[in-house]
Amino acid sequence: KMKVFPESFNVIVEGDLTDEHPKYYHKIKVIYKFKGKDLPKDNLEKAVKLSEDTYCGVSALYKRAIDLATEILVEE
C-alpha cells in the first residue's frame, strides 16, 4: 500500500555466538538495505516494523529468545 519501488533490496544478517558449547546465537542483527532514488525512509521503516511485528512469526519467536536488533540502510 505504501508503493515504494527500490532499485535493489538486500537483507544482511549478522550474529554473535556464545563461547561455550553448545554454541548458539545470543545476538542477531538484521540489516535491511534499500537502494534507490527518493525513497521515503519513514515508509521503509513502517514496512519493516509491520513485517517484523505483525507478519513474521520467526521474528516474533526470536525476539522472545534473544537480543534481536534491526537496522535500515538507504542508499541513493
Report the predicted TM-score, pTM, of the whole model to 2 decimal places.
0.86
pLDDT tens-digit map of 6-16: 999 999 999 99
Cβ–Cβ contacts within 10 Å for residue 34, how many? Answer: 20
Question: What are the domain boundaries of the chain?
Answer: 8-75
Architecture in CATH for domain 8-75: 2-Layer Sandwich (3.30)
pLDDT tier for residue 31 given thresholds of 50, 70 and 90: very high
Other CB atoms closer than 10 Å to residue 30's CB: what's the count? 18
Running DSSP on this structure, what letter comes out for residue 37? Answer: T
